């Protein structure tokens, strides 16, 4: 773990005046390279708008030497860290991650009391957000949550995301369906903004290296078929991780033999089990010039990889979010992204060697001149976000934000004094759980 020099940690802001007055202090908290890549343009939008004063806290895997010390990318992008909270992730077991979340909650509470933000902004569903929302709740700071209402049925992130939704006070979601799910959890409609995925706004703002320069930079010959590989632990299937990784590595070997594929592999996230994936990929790439395993590509090189690779292989949400913008075929392995909306570029396969190899064959025949509709937005989310945020902060005071009023569903009718059974809580006209046409009925 490495902390940034104190010279790169910014000054403390003055205490807020109540009620909020401009500029509003918005404290953005980032804990991983992938989420920062999606939030970077939100940070720029907030920084460039005189209505806001950005505060930035980095934590989580940003300070992990194994994951590339990606806090340096944040500073290189021109942002100042108002606080740095490195975590001791160790071997990333459930016990060490739980300890890290508790440590984060306590240390973050101290920083929030020091910085006195008007609003904390977070994105997604990573486990460290449990520490963030704990600190915010106890310090009574309103939370704005990006990317709520989505589903990832194969991982614990599903629970984390919905927990953050219930803790949050403003919700920026990518799709009407996601907004409806947030409302279904009892959130008031004025708190929900359907804006699109803000990470898509920056895809065409960055100047990317040319294909020749990118190939030379990563050490591959231009024109050779290259696959981008990212595989994360499926945290609800920990017992199966070894078999899944073995199946993937065997498929990659077969793809190299059969199709001449070269591989650009990136590190997994810091979930429990990541060390096993890292060890397997290190062994797979060792001594092979046609294989490169890297902790982090950085945003520009990562987008260049999406542009120039023939396919993406693994179970990263990037295959659903950003890859459609490049018409890139994605071999999505297993259940990690279960329940998520996906574009026509996504080829879902089982974590089985033969299935993955068949996916490679399909991907090699993919016509990338045919545009793929991206269900996560049109690349204009941030102007909608900022307009919504300014309107809410003008019209609502801090007490309005903090006092959440649960919105009951009109169709949920329970007679007074009667304890409802499982069938009483169902949507009218829906089939019973064991009815022949019920979604969960067992044959």
- Backbone angles phi and psi of 3, in degrees to 5: -95, 150
Q: What is the token pair recorded at 361?
A: 């064959």
- Residue 299 — φ and ψ, nearest 5°? -65, -45
Can you spell out the DSSP letters for 184-220?
A: HTT--GGGEEE---GGGGGTTTS-PPPHHHHHHHHT-
**DSSP H or E run through 245:** helix 241-259
CA 212 – CA 221 distance, rounded (Å): 8
- Percent of the chain exceeding pLDDT 90 equals 75
Q: Give the residue among 320, 313, 291 at the shortest CA–CA distance from 359.
A: 313
Is residue 356 predicted with pLDDT exceeding 50? yes
pLDDT > 70? residue 21 = no
Give residue 426's pLDDT band: very low, low, confident or very high (50, 70, 90). very low
Q: Would the pLDDT of 348 be above 70?
A: yes
Q: What is the pLDDT of residue 91?
A: 72
Q: What is the DSSP string of 258-304?
A: HH--EEEEE---SSTTHHHHHHHHHHHHTT-TTEEEES---HHHHHH
Domains 6-203+379-402 and 211-364 share a fold: yes
| Mutual angle of helices 274-285 and 241-259, in 10-degree steps | 20
Residue 65: what pLDDT?
Answer: 82
Mean pLDDT of the chain: 88
Structure tokens at 115: 């910085």
Of 433 and 175, the structure prediction assigns the larger pLDDT to 175
Cis before residue 171, ω within 30 degrees of 0?
A: no
| Cα–Cα dist 306/283, whole Å | 24
pLDDT tens-digit readout, 96-125: 889 999 999 999 999 999 999 999 999 999
Close Cβ partners of 430 (under 8 Å, ≥ 6 residues apart): none
Cα 382 to its chain centre, rounded Å, is 17
Return d(Cα 443, Cα 433) in angstroms, integer: 12
pLDDT at 435 over 70: no
* Residues whose CB falls within 8 Å of the CB of residue 123, separated by 6 or more in sequence, listed in order: 30, 35, 38, 39, 145, 146, 147
Question: pTM of the full predicted structure?
Answer: 0.83
Which residue do the tokens 């940003």 mark? 62
Cα 130 to Cα 167: distance, rounded to the nearest angstrom: 10
Per-residue pLDDT band for 214 (boundaries 50, 70, 90) equals very high
| pLDDT above 50 for 418 | no
The answer to whether the beta carbons of residues 27 and 56 sit under 8 Å apart is yes
**305: which residues sit within 8 A by CB, 6+ positions away?**
214, 218, 226, 228, 264, 297
Residue 199 vs residues 188, 195, 291, 412: alpha-carbon distances, Å: 25, 11, 28, 36
What superfamily does domain 211-364 belong to in CATH? Glycogen Phosphorylase B; (3.40.50.2000)
Residue 19 scores a pLDDT above 90: no
Question: Please, which pLDDT band fits residue 422 given cuts at 50, 70 and 90?
Answer: very low
Task: Locate the domains of the chain by residue range.
Answer: 6-203+379-402, 211-364
Average pLDDT for 220-232: 89
Answer for the pair 154, 317: CB distance below 8 angstroms, yes or no. no
Q: Cα separations (Å) of 165 from 108, 126, 129, 169, 233? A: 19, 13, 11, 8, 23
CATH number of the domain at 6-203+379-402, out of 3.30.2270.10, 3.40.50.620, 1.25.40.20, 3.40.50.2000? Answer: 3.40.50.2000
Write down the residue that tokens 């992130």 correspond to: 157
**Tens of pLDDT, residues 256-313:** 999 999 999 999 988 889 999 999 999 999 999 999 999 989 899 999 999 999 999 9
Give the side-chain half-sphere CA count within 13 A for 230: 25
Residue range 151-194, pLDDT digits in tens = 999 899 999 999 999 999 999 999 999 999 999 999 999 999 99
Residue 1 confidence (pLDDT): 43
List the structure tokens of 250: 């065997």
Residue 20, pLDDT score: 52
> Measured between alpha carbons, how far is 232 from 230 in angstroms, rounded to an integer?
7
- Residue with the larger pLDDT of the pair 369 and 7: 369
398: confidence class by pLDDT, cuts 50, 70, 90: very high
Q: How many CA atoms lie within 13 A of 420 on its CB side?
A: 10
The more confidently predicted of residues 424 and 213 is 213
Sign of the Cα torsion 420, 443, 156, 188 reads negative
The rounded distance, in Å, linking the Cα atoms of 191 and 208 is: 36
- The sign of the CA dihedral 327, 328, 332, 336 is negative
How far apart CA 208 and CA 163 sit, in angstroms, is 37
Return the structure tokens found at 321.
Answer: 């979010």
* pLDDT confidence tier of residue 13, bands split at 50, 70 and 90: very low
Residues 6+ apart with CB under 8 A from 151: 158, 338, 339, 340
Q: Give the mean pLDDT of 242-251.
A: 98
Q: Tokens standing for 443?
A: 């044959």
pLDDT in the model for residue 93: 85
Element (H or E) spanning 216, and its range?
A: helix 211-218
Which pLDDT does position 15 carry in this prediction?
39
| Total residue count of the chain as it appears in this document | 443
Residue holding tokens 């902004």? Answer: 121
Helices and strands in the chain: count of H runs, count of E runs: 14, 13
Q: ω into residue 19 within 30 of 0, thus cis?
A: yes
Q: For the segment 317-333, what is each residue's pLDDT rounded down to a tens digit?
A: 999 999 999 999 999 99
Question: Could you report the per-residue pLDDT of 64-104, keeping only the tens digit for each?
Answer: 887 778 899 999 999 999 999 998 876 778 898 899 999 99
């Amino acid at each position: 773990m490495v902390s940034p020099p104190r010279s790169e940690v910014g000054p403390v802001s003055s205490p807020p005046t109540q009620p909020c007055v401009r500029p509003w202090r918005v404290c953005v908290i980032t804990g991983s390279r992938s989420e920062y890549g999606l939030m970077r343009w939100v940070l720029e939008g907030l920084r460039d708008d005189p209505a806001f004063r950005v505060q930035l806290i980095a934590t989580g895997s940003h300070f992990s030497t194994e994951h590339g010390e990606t806090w340096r990318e944040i500073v290189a992008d021109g942002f100042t860290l108002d606080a740095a909270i490195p975590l001791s992730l160790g071997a990333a077991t459930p016990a060490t991650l739980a300890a890290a979340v508790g440590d984060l909650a306590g240390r973050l509470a101290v920083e929030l009391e020091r910085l006195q933000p008007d609003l904390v902004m977070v994105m997604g569903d990573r486990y460290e957000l449990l520490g963030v929302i704990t600190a915010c709740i106890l310090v009574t700071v309103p939370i704005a949550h990006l990317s709520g209402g989505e589903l990832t049925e194969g991982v614990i992130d599903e629970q984390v995301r919905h927990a953050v939704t219930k803790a949050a006070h403003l919700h920026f979601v990518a799709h009407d369906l996601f907004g409806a799910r947030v409302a279904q959890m009892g959130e008031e409609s004025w708190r929900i903004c359907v804006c699109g995925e803000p990470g898509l706004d920056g895809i065409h703002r960055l100047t990317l290296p040319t294909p020749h320069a990118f190939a030379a930079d990563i050490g591959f010959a231009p024109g050779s078929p290259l696959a981008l590989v990212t595989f994360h632990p499926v945290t609800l299937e920990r017992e199966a991780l070894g078999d899944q990784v073995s199946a993937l590595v065997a498929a990659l070997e077969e793809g190299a033999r059969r199709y001449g594929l070269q591989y650009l592999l990136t590190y997994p996230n810091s979930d429990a089990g990541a060390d096993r994936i890292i060890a397997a990929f290190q062994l797979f790439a060792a001594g092979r010039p046609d294989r490169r395993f890297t902790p982090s590509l950085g945003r520009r090189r990562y987008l260049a990889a999406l542009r120039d690779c023939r396919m993406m292989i693994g179970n990263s949400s990037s295959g659903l979010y950003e890859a459609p913008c490049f018409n890139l075929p994605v071999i999505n392995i297993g259940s990690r992204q279960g329940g998520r909306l996906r574009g026509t570029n996504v080829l879902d396969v089982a974590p089985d060697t033969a299935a993955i190899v068949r996916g490679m064959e399909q991907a090699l025949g993919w016509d990338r001149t045919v545009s793929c509709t991206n269900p996560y937005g049109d690349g204009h989310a941030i102007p909608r976000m900022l307009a919504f945020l300014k309107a809410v902060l003008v019209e609502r005071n801090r007490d309005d934000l903090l006092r959440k009023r649960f919105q009951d569903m009109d169709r949920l009718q329970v007679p007074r004094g009667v304890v409802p059974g499982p069938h009483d809580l169902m949507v009218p006209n829906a089939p019973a759980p064991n009815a022949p046409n019920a979604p969960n009925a067992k044959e």
